[in-house]
């Protein structure tokens, strides 16, 4: 069995400002830095990690770096671990997106059908997330892997593994910043056994926008 320990990045500057991050490279806040350290410490203490993977975006990479330094294991970058590409929405706040783009209504009401202007369809995003984790699992049979990524990725992966109907993805809960989720792969099948665990954190954050993108 292959076990994948997945962390969502810490609280970012765009989380704090209520802006869509998407695939913009946004730094963590001071709180986010603390959360990243707490999550890294929890992972190192509780799991025997064989390999480390990360999104290339700095808000995710920072946590992977901390784990990497403590375990002396290099970080493998995979751009397919990036957050949903929200195209023209990236960098804008909630009010701006709702005012400028009528398509944003679907994002808030039925995210599975969301097609951000100039960005990535959510249905394609789910397939991307499912595919990259299958690849990681196939490359690491019977190992324990740490992955640092984004809230939307974890939500999309849960939707894929549990075969959630696209119109019900809106009901899949978002995970908090620096929370831990765990997926186990066996005989080519993945099962999410932990979703959004954050009891190791002294300060929890779940931003309305940042929790997803």
∠ CA(86), CA(4), CA(90), 5° rounding?
10
| Burial class for 52, CB neighbours closer than 10 Å (0-12, 13-18, 19+) | buried
pLDDT at 77: 98
pLDDT at 134: 98
pLDDT at 201: 94
2-86+125-197: which CATH topology? Answer: Rossmann fold (3.40.50)
pLDDT at 203: 81
Read off φ and ψ for residue 147, nearest 5 degrees.
-125, 125
- Average pLDDT along the chain: 93
pLDDT beyond 90 at 94: no
Among all chains, which residue has been given the structure tokens 């696209």?
166
- The pTM score is 0.94
Enumerate the active-site residues: 9, 83
pLDDT beyond 70 at 17: yes
pLDDT at 207: 53
Q: What is the pLDDT of residues 25-71, one digit of tens each?
A: 999 999 999 999 999 999 999 999 999 999 999 999 999 999 999 99
Partnered with residue 144 across adjacent β-strands are 3
Are 200 and 37 in contact by the 8 Å Cβ rule? The answer is: no
Q: How confident is the model at residue 16 (pLDDT cuts 50, 70, 90)?
A: confident
Domain coordinates in residue numbering, the chain: 2-86+125-197
Helices (H) and strands (E) in the chain, counts: 7, 6
Q: How confident is the model at residue 82 (pLDDT cuts 50, 70, 90)?
A: very high
Q: Can you tell me the mean pLDDT for 88-100?
A: 91
Q: Single out the residue of 44, 9, 37, 63 nearest to residue 144, CA to CA.
A: 44
Are 180 and 36 in contact by the 8 Å Cβ rule? The answer is: no
Distance CA(104)–CA(94), nearest Å, equals 9
Q: What is the pLDDT of residues 182-213, one digit of tens each?
A: 999 999 899 999 999 999 998 877 654 444 56
């Amino acid at each position: 069995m292959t076990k994948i320990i997945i962390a969502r990045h810490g609280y970012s500057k765009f989380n704090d400002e209520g802006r869509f991050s998407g695939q913009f490279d946004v730094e963590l806040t001071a709180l986010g830095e603390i959360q990243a350290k707490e999550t890294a410490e929890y992972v190192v203490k509780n799991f025997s990690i064989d390999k480390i993977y990360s999104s290339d975006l700095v808000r995710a990479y920072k946590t992977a770096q901390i784990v990497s330094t403590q375990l002396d294991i290099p970080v493998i970058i995979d751009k397919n671990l990036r957050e949903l590409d929200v195209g023209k929405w990236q960098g804008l706040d909630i009010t701006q997106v709702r005012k400028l783009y009528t398509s944003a209504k679907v994002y808030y009401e039925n995210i599975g059908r969301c097609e951000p202007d100039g960005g990535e369809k959510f249905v394609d995003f789910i397939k991307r997330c499912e595919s990259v984790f299958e690849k990681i699992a196939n490359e690491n049979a019977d190992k324990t892997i740490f992955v640092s990524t984004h809230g939307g990725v974890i939500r999309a992966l849960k939707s894929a593994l549990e075969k959630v109907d696209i119109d019900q993805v809106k009901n899949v809960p978002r995970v908090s910043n620096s929370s831990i989720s765990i997926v186990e792969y066996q005989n080519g099948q993945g099962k999410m056994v932990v979703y959004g665990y954050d009891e190791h954190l002294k300060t929890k954050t779940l931003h309305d926008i940042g929790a997803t993108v």
